[in-house]
Structure 1
Amino acid sequence: MSRVHGVQGLLNRTAVVTGAARGIGAALARKLAERGMRVALLGLEGDLLREVARTLPVQTCCLDVDVTDEAAMERAAAAVGDLLGAPSVVVANAGIAEGGPFGFSDPVTWRRVIEVNLCGSATTARVFLPALLSNRGYYLQVASTAAFGSVPMMSAYCASKAGVESFAQSLRAELATQGTGVGIAYVHWTDTDMIRDADQHTALRELRAHMPPGARRTYPVTTIAAWLARGVDRRLPAVYAPPWLRYAQPLRPLFPPAVAAVSRRTLPRLTAPGQLPSTGLLGPGGQAARSGGR
């Protein structure tokens, strides 16, 4: 099959989006449907997935599945192929977060963030890779500016997003001669349930408030999805949402000392006993992911 490229190349092809029940995933599913793609929506909140599907003007399927469940994801991949055809685009978007001091974090919750964000992305890539190879398709890994420079109180999320960046870079190198593209989406603060929940917690809200004004701006989810969709159109190796983030890439070595300097000034007044309780998994999506949606 010819290599998918550009908006016309997406017409009547199949896309898979994980974490599609809400936020970036739901908005991106709409943008891909606008391009005439059939869309498979994967996630844990089946009723919400079906609500999203009803708004799409294309053929869809909804699969209630935990991205960390390898066997269930293999069945989902087979179902997508049967219902919509082998996918040409796969977006690994499913992600959760928790906040608070690492030393007081719940090990189960901390590990769940890594499992969903990193292991779930790898599982998504693994089960859909045969289809992507046969279609010379495109895999988009949704990462974060947390991969640029890790911040305190978000250790699991930052570790997972740095991990998915490295995973996608490794996968890209492996597939370089096989006609299948791999992109990494660097997403900044987005107006999602997860971020709104984070802002309810004093430490996370204060840490964001000490970022430079432009860096702490929150972007509408539809705007972020539009930038990601354009990355899919062009099979970009790196998608920056917002686009100005591309200019931050060369500055990455400066971020850790800068974050440490801000943390030394900010954290002492926030770290009194009881001042920084763990947030637990953030937002309704995080709650759904607490135990695989069960």
Structure 2
Amino acid sequence: MPTLRNKVALVTGAARGIGAETARALARKGVKLVLIDLDAEPLQALATELGDDVALATAADVCDLAAMQQAVDAGVAKFGGIDLVLANAGIASYGSVMQVDPSTFKRVIDVNIIGAFHTVRAALPSVIERKGYILIVSSLAAYTPAAGLASYNASKAGVEHFANTLRIEVAHRGVAVGSAHMSWIDTPLVQDTKKDLAAFNEFLAVLPGPLGKTTSVDTCVDAFVDGLAGRKRRVYVPGWVGVMGWLKSVITSRIGDRRVLPHIPRILPKIDEEVAKLGRSTSARNVALGDVAVDPK
């Protein structure tokens, strides 16, 4: 497997969770890091921890192409170029299509899809020059719909196909592109959802087999680092998620619907009731960052 030492990696959503832990793991392997996140304080703390010779932190919104270009240009100026991109930034909204705050729904699409496009657009010239690799973070949600999470499901399906299209556009330039598909990972995003919505925990409990189980961040990081090193076309966390990709047509058929449909009339109204009481359609952390507005309803 090719070595990661002396490579330069751009990581978005780097302030906490999978992004931060992947950055630490890459630094241990000798990778230089360009770290981007909207949450400036923990982002800078991570860069300080890793050291100025290893990491450059820029607080930027992935929805702002000019800001992303400025961050990429600063990284190229400091480290000479970019070999690897981990387009990891992502958020989620709560509530049914009838309940979710429309501006929050749109913000999820913007961060998760437009943000991935901006990340790639800004970094691509340097990645092409170095014949590098781009890993775009999708999800198991691209294959398996979950009631109350429509924006997240749609965005992760969209970003997977963005990766598929990008792959065929840049292959002749020596650039490889992969998409990462994870089940529930014990990240702040999942932790916040479990804390905010008791009904979400009920939903997980009715999912069959391993579908409702949560996987550790460390397991996810190991898979991401392996994927970045091996320039993988797909990264699955845990490995069984790959089977779900092959079964997508069955999962979204009437046969697949039968497993969850009986529970929706009970669980979805509970989710919507809890969202209404919260007065927001996303985590308190996203609201505090100014990433989304409080639901005006």
TM-score past 0.5 threshold: yes
| Residue matched to 1:209 | 205
8 Å contact from structure 2 (residues 104, 281) kept in 1: yes
| 1-structure distance, mates of 2:269, 2:9 | 48
Query: Aligned residue for 1:277?
Result: 275
After superposition, the Cα gap between the structure-2 partners of 1:194 and 1:160, relative to the gap in structure 1 and judged at 3 Å, is same
Is 1:144 the equivalent of 2:145?
A: no
SS of the counterpart of 2:14? coil
User: How far off its partner does 1:117 sit?
Assistant: 0.3
Give the Å deviation of 1:288: 2.3
**Change in 2 beyond 3 A, CA 1:170/1:265:** same
Cα displacement (A) at 1:262: 3.5
Sort the Cα spacing of 1:258 and 1:224 in 2 relative to 1 into closer, same or farther, 3 A.
farther
Deviation, structure 1 residue 167: 0.2
Residues of 1 paired with 2:286 and 2:256: CA distance?
Answer: 28
Equivalent position of 2:71 in the other structure: 76
CA deviation string 1:22-81 (max 9, x = no partner): 000001111111110101110011110122223326611000000000111111111111
Stretch deviating more after TM superposition (215-224 or 34-43): 215-224
Between the two proteins, what is the percent identity of the paired residues? Answer: 34
Check whether the contact 1:194–1:283 (CA below 8 A) recurs between aligned residues.
no
Q: Is the 8 A contact 1:121 1:141 kept in 2?
A: yes
Q: In the aligned structure 2, how far is the partner of 1:235 from the partner of 1:76?
A: 24
Q: 1:291 Cα shift?
A: 4.6
1:175 aligned counterpart, secondary structure:
helix
For residue 54 of structure 2, the aligned residue among 59, 83, 98 is 59
**Counterparts in 2 of 1:11 and 1:283: CA distance versus 1, 3 Å:** farther
- Separation in structure 2 between the aligned mates of residue 289 and residue 237 of structure 1, nearest angstrom: 35
Give the length in aligned residue pairs.
286
What letter corresponds to residue 159 of structure 1 in structure 2?
A: A
Q: CA deviation at 1:263?
A: 3.5
Distance (whole Å) between structure 2 residues aligned to residue 114 and residue 207 of structure 1: 23
Equivalent-residue separation in structure 2 for 1:214 and 1:272 (angstroms): 25
Is 1:194–1:286's contact at 8 Å kept on the other side of the alignment? no
Unaligned runs of 5+ in 2: none
- Distance verdict in 2 for CA 1:272–1:249, change over 3 Å: closer
The CA distance in 1 between the partners of 2:203 and 2:59, in whole Å, is: 35
Deviates more, 1:258-267 or 1:62-71: 258-267
Q: Which runs of 4+ in 1 moved over 6 A?
A: none
Q: CA deviation at 1:203?
A: 2.8
Q: Choose from 239, 246, 249 the match for 2:242.
A: 246
In structure 2, give the amino acid aligned to 1:36. G
| CA–CA separation in structure 2 for the residues paired with 1:19 and 1:269 | 34
Q: In 2, are the aligned partners of 1:187 and 1:241 still within 8 Å (CA)?
A: yes
SS in 2 for 1:11: coil
Q: Aligned AA for 2:247?
A: L
Q: How far apart are the structure 1 equivalents of 2:226 and 2:83? A: 15
Query: Secondary structure of the equivalent of 1:96?
Result: coil
Q: For structure 1, list consecutive stretches of 5 or more residues without a partner in the other structure.
A: none
Distance 2:288 2:229 in 1: 33
- Tell me whether 263-272 or 30-39 shows the greater mean CA deviation: 263-272
Do the aligned partners of 1:281 and 1:287 also contact (CA within 8 Å) in 2? no
TM-score w.r.t. the length of structure 2 is 0.91
What does 1:58-207 align with in structure 2 at a 5 Å threshold? 59-200=54-195, 201-207=197-203
| 2:24 maps to 1:20 | no
Q: Is the 8 A contact 1:118 1:164 kept in 2?
A: yes
C-alpha distance after superposition, 1:170-195 (max 9, x if no partner): 00011121100101001111111110
Contact 1:60-1:84 at 8 Å conserved across structures: no
CA contact (8 A) 1:99 1:204 kept: no
1:222-272 deviation digits (Å, cap 9, x = unpaired): 210111100011000101111222222221111123553234211222355
Residues 272 and 107 of structure 1, relative CA distance in 2, 3 Å threshold: closer
Q: Which amino acid aligns with 2:176?
A: G
Which residue of the partner structure matches residue 257 of structure 2?
Answer: 260
